[in-house]
Amino acid sequence: MTASGVAPPEAPAKIIFGKYEIGRLLGYGAFAKVYYARHILQGHSVAIKIISKAKVIRGGLVVHTKREIVVMRRLHHPNIVRLLEVLASRSNIYFVMEYAKGGELFSRVARGHLSEDQSRKFFHQLIFAIAFCHARGVFHRDLKPENLLLDDSGNLKVSDFGLSAVAEQIRSDGLFHTLCGTPAYVAPEILSRKGYEGAKVDIWSCGVILFVLSAGYLPFNDPNLMALYRKIYLGEYRCPKWISPELRRLLSRLLDTNPETRITVEGILNDPWFRRGDLNAFDIISLYSRFDLSGFFNSTVKARKRFVSAGPVDAVLVRVETVGREEGLVVRRRLRSLKGRGAAAVEGWMGNLIVWVDVYRLSPELVMVEVERGGGLEAARWSFEFWREKLTLGLRSSVSEPPTPVCATSGELSSGPSTPVTGGAKRIGSASEPASPVYVEEKVMLEGEPAINGK
């Protein structure tokens, strides 16, 4: 206890859970502190957010904290800080996260404005990350340079989803109504208190961030909070003379005070300034590509493949999930209402379906696996490396005897639209299955979630 009778902040143990060595303090807030840490056995660096259970309960933030866990577990993307695991002690919750060695993007901007090429690079990465979030029903609602981190290669990482919202929170009018965000980055419709769309307020904040990167200062700024809000509401800002006409036009569409006419993600992707330098769909897909793009339109690749693998069904789905996550993709597992059948959707960074995997029980030891490729450029990009050479071989590696094809499927790869895969009850099956539908519920994977109320 201190002389004032107030207990000092709890100092973290040097080593927690027998595997993480706690280092320097990286940052702190009202309810949490973030420390640098090192995995003792594997040696890699992580950031650990330590949240006080008592403060969470006193502040009425139990549901809020659980939501943050759910949100971060949904988001596996090269430009989003990844949640590695969640641990808990009697008094604290520990978010073990990817460590961004380059620090905050804010520190780069504090030294002066960036060139338009540098701003464009970071803006590309920001938009790809936000598009990925929105495709999964997640809205950040507190985007600002302080929440944008850099890895050791200088790539952007979106962090701090503490104020994020999910589609399930939308009211019957289709809008959010919670007041949140940082004053200088908040959208005018939030100030009106009439409800707002999560995607559109994120786009506004992206516009403020792009302005800050390119100009070196905030578009809306005033020491008087009410005067600041008035400038935001009226859209009063001035661009410095070095900003190009193309960028000015994009900023005016991002900072449109009318959310109905504000530019969308699709509009941004097609904007001339965003696409400058001959950026096309192939460039967008391959920005984070680690593989040769040959094989995009390999006519010998079939759209569907079937083979026999060692069972049981759940073990095969776990293998699909493991292979997908090793490649940085998102895998959503679904269990069918009919016993002995299961499925998994593997999605790319922009939320598109890459492959759909159906698993059918043949015997206690064997299952039939049907792998069907999704449609579109991103699926074509991944089908050659991931679908054919990683997923299929990965599954076949678990077969106790040489795999025997069940049947051959004719037809070339289709470039047509695929069936979207989202949460909720969905029909699973291929055209060759009976017409009677089989429905499933997506299972929110929260195994190992620490009890916040309990001890």
Give 340's strand partners: none
- Model confidence pTM above 0.75: no
User: What is the model's pLDDT at position 297?
Assistant: 32
Could you give the residue numbers annotated as active site? 142
Residues 31-44, mean pLDDT to the nearest whole number:
91
Residues within the annotated binding site? 49
Q: Is the pLDDT of residue 449 over 50?
A: no
Res. 339 pLDDT band, cuts 50 70 90:
low
Model pLDDT, residue 379: 55
Q: What is the pLDDT of residue 65?
A: 85
| Mean pLDDT score, 82-88 | 92
Nearest to 285 by CA among 191, 209, 349, 340: 349
Percent residues over pLDDT 70 in the chain = 65
Are the CB atoms for 204 and 233 separated by under 8 Å? Answer: no
pLDDT tens readout for residues 199-222: 899 999 999 999 999 999 999 999
Q: Domain residues of the chain, as ranges?
A: 16-98, 103-279, 304-442
The mean per-residue pLDDT over the stretch 96-112 comes to 91
When pLDDT is averaged across residues 427-443 and rounded to a whole number, the result is 29
More confident residue, 212 or 434: 212
**pLDDT 10s digits, 159-169:** 887 665 544 44
Residues marked as binding for ATP?
49
Do the domains 103-279 and 304-442 sit in the same CATH topology, yes or no? no
Residue 95 has pLDDT above 90, yes or no: yes
Res 260: pLDDT? 93
45 versus 422: the higher-pLDDT residue is 45
Average pLDDT rounded to a whole number, residues 24-33: 84
CATH class in words for 16-98: alpha beta
Binned at pLDDT 50, 70 and 90, residue 191 comes out as: confident
Which fold is adopted by the domain 103-279? Transferase(Phosphotransferase); domain 1 (1.10.510)
Judge whether residue 233 has pLDDT over 70. Answer: yes
User: What's the average model confidence in pLDDT over 298-321?
Assistant: 70
Say which CATH class 304-442 falls into.
Answer: alpha beta
- pLDDT at position 391, please? 67
Residues 198, 165 contacting (CB under 8 angstroms)? yes
Mean pLDDT of the chain: 73
* Residue 205, pLDDT score: 93
